A and B are shown apart, each in its own frame.
Chain A
Amino acid sequence: MANVEVRNVYKTFDSVEAVKNLSFHVKTGEFFSLLGTSGCGKTTTLRIITGLEQQDRGEVLIDGKEITSIPIHKRDIGFVFQNYALFPHMTVKENIEFGLKMKKISKNSFDSKVRDILALVGLEGYEDRMPKQLSGGEQQRVALCRTLVLSPKVLLLDEPLSNLDAKLRKKMRIELKDIQRKIEVTTIYVTHDQEEALSMSDKITVMNRGQGIQIGTPYEIYEKPASRFVADFMGQVNLYKGRIVQKIGSEVTIVSDQTPDIKVLLTLEEERDYTEGKQFLFLIRKEGIEVLDKEIKGRTDVDSFIARVQAVIYLGSHSECICTFEGKKGQITFRLPASLRSLELLRTGDKVMLGWRPSNVALIGKEGEKYESES
């Protein structure tokens, strides 16, 4: 058990800045994710913590101790590789025993240790199989066993689920999180899959171009993205630039620049420099948009406007509808409510009245300048 601190780490490869002034702190026993697109520096960060790469500047501390000068094989950090990196010439048992042998642990304990760790991941009796006889998910679990049997201080996982098929990935997500909770190991998880990060993590750092863009709980990252990049990455599609047109107490009305039809009313959580005329980026969650009946037109607690259906996209578990505005730029996407699931009810060209509750609107960035950090 240990806590990990990364302080102002920089790493450059052939003039490409892979990691740029990255800092974060992982508490003991926490499940911490580094989330970002490929090439954003998340794997490099993980490799720096393990010792497979050396940072140009900055510090990595485990339990408050700088570890940069400790060679990899003495760091006690578990690393699960994206391709699992099981030794192809060794059986499952030999793979798991490898680390124990290197640590010169008494051989008498090997059998029971291997048995226990295989039981933990549900692979009892797999000792004598060769890696190539295992499915992707099984290899994944053996790779995890091989690392966990050494009781590492920190467990690092580099996109461990990305080579699995979609169904297995979802199952392994739960299993992995379960194992992590059982052994309470401090874990840093690298992924490009936002759903994975949201469902497993205690905390997430969203990375872009080597920098940490936002650190927070899954709820904070999804509900209150700090920049357009984060909002976009978390799957928000209804992003608009807007301006405060009215401010009464803590209630402000913001109108989209491009599409004046989109007018949102929201209650500010904190009193800040929100003056009339100031520009903001805001989002409307697609799962919070409702198709309104005509009768409730004119209700003031709900913003509403008329749009034209451009396409209805059937996605199996739900459908999405993309609408445009008469004579104006911009579009809005929303998830169709169950009552409108039938494809017949909404067709391209139909006019609909849309509305949402203020809780489904979020201002991106507390300050105007955050608005500039577009991807």
Chain B
Amino acid sequence: MNQNHSVVMWRAREKFVEGLLALPGAIFIIFFWVASLIILLIFSFFKDVPGGGFMPAFTFENYIKIFTDPFYLTILCRTLVIAIVATIVALITSYPVAYKLARINPRKADFFLVLIIIPFLTATIFRVFGLVYALGNYGVVNSFLSYIGVGRVKLIWNWTGVIIGFLNTLLPYAILSLYSCITQIDKSLEEAAYTLGANKLRTTWHVILPLIRSGIGSGAIFVFVIVMGTFEVPSLLGRMKSGIVASVLIQQQIAFIHYPMASALSFVLLIIVAGGVTSFMKILGGRIKL
């Protein structure tokens, strides 16, 4: 009985220590994320003052504007379409790379993975600026194309530029999440499919893809979330008119100082992202992991 009691005490103390250790991180998250989200929510009901500034109020004006004003509606739709297209393109292009990496000698794969991760060490904005020079009308790519006689192609300040820009940002995420799934699949499953009469394509379709459904799901979530939040790409590589919510947000907040409108937009974006993530999880059974 006595011994039992001391075990209970010991367990309780252990739990207390565990909680204590989690505290700094928890405080950080509550203070910087939850609290700021609440402030953001409050702000979104405030009123904008024409010419800059805002005043406290409780009005749904901003939300109503977002869902009725064609300007904001177009941006919302455009954001969703771009995010979905970029996600699909990123996943399709990264699959062959991820597969190859998963099936080569692990030591070689590590080398290539490091190459894929290194660009993360620079800020997105620098990489996107780099792309402006690479893809511009007199950039490296176009110079090469005209040299070999293909002629100049417009690769920037249009949708092509936006998609290329997003791929540049997103491929590493997509490759890494697919790679970690494919390495879990025993090679003998593929080999079994071959011996049963399946070629490479049908093996991929019937065996590998169903088995990495959750990986595709988590890859999709990552990519989708990042697209929704990356303002640099459409701002620098798209036309002025091809802004998405994130870039308009920056505009509203920094250029026009429309905090209440920006806050409302942020919340709508947040809800769209949450909805997107949930539906990806529903469809593909993915869980958030890398």
Contacts and interface: CB of A to CB of B under 8 A. Distances in A.
Contacts of B207: 87
Nearest to B191: A52
Contact of B188 (A71, A73, A85, A98): A85
B195 A77 contact: yes
Interface string B196-212: 11110010001100110
A286 interface: no
A102 B196 CA distance: 7
B77 interface: no
A108 B192 CA distance: 24
Contacts of B41: none
B198 A102 contact: yes
B18 interface: no
Contacts of B254: none
Of A77, A78, A83, A87, most buried by chain B (CB within 10 Å of CB) is: A87
B183 to A, nearest CB: 16
A102 B198 CA distance: 6
A185 to B, nearest CB: 14
B3 to A, nearest CB: 40
Contact of A87 (B189, B197, B199, B202): B189
Given A81-B188, A98-B206, A88 B198 contact: no
Contacts of A99: 196-197
B191 A81 contact: yes
A179 to B, nearest CB: 18
Of A73, A79, A83, most buried by chain B (CB within 10 Å of CB) is: A73
Contact of B211 (A73, A86, A88, A103): A88
B198 A79 contact: no
Interface in A269-322: none
A147 B196 contact: yes
A87 B207 CA distance: 7
A98 B198 contact: yes
A75 B199 CA distance: 12
A231 B197 CA distance: 41
A40 to B, nearest CB: 20
A150 B196 contact: yes
Contact of B195 (A79, A83, A86, A89): A79
B69 interface: no
A50 interface: yes
Given A85-B189, A87-B189, A72 B194 contact: yes
A186 to B, nearest CB: 16
B189 A73 contact: no
Chain B interface, >50% SS class? helix
B32 to A, nearest CB: 42
Contacts of B195: 50, 52, 72-73, 75, 77-79, 147
A107 interface: no
A74 interface: yes
A73 B192 contact: no
Interface in A68-127: 71-75, 77-79, 81, 83, 85-89, 98-99, 102-103
Contact of A83 (B186, B197, B202, B206): B186
B193 interface: yes
B239 to A, nearest CB: 44
Given A73-B198, A74-B197, A102-B197, A85 B191 contact: yes
Contact of B196 (A51, A71, A89, A146): A146
A150 B189 CA distance: 17
Nearest to B210: A89
Nearest to B203: A73
A85 B193 CA distance: 9
B211 A85 contact: no
Of A72, A74, A146, most buried by chain B (CB within 10 Å of CB) is: A72
B94 to A, nearest CB: 22
A251 to B, nearest CB: 55
Contacts of B192: 79, 81, 85-87, 146
A78 B197 CA distance: 10
A79 B202 CA distance: 18
Interface string A228-243: 0000000000000000
Contacts of B188: 81, 83, 85
Nearest to A105: B197
Nearest to A158: B188
Interface in A211-231: none
Nearest to B198: A102
Contacts of B199: 71, 73
Of B186, B206, B210, most buried by chain A (CB within 10 Å of CB) is: B206
Contacts of A85: 186, 188-189, 191-192
B197 A103 contact: yes
Contacts of B189: 85, 87-88
Contacts of A102: 193, 196-198, 202
B263 to A, nearest CB: 45
B194 A73 contact: yes
Contacts of A74: 197
B160 to A, nearest CB: 37
A89 B189 CA distance: 11
Contacts of B186: 83, 85
26 contacts: A50-B195, A51-B194, A52-B194, A71-B199, A72-B194, A74-B197, A77-B195, A79-B192, A79-B195, A81-B188, A83-B188, A85-B192, A86-B192, A87-B193, A87-B207, A88-B211, A89-B210, A89-B211, A98-B193, A98-B198, A99-B196, A99-B197, A102-B193, A146-B192, A147-B195, A147-B196
Interface of B: 186, 188-189, 191-199, 202, 206-207, 210-211
Given A50-B195, A79-B192, A81-B188, 16 more contacts: A51-B194, A52-B194, A72-B195, A73-B198, A85-B186, A85-B189, A85-B192, A87-B189, A89-B211, A98-B193, A98-B198, A98-B206, A102-B193, A102-B198, A103-B197, A150-B197
**4 nearest A-B residue pairs (beta carbon):** A99-B196, A102-B197, A85-B192, A85-B188
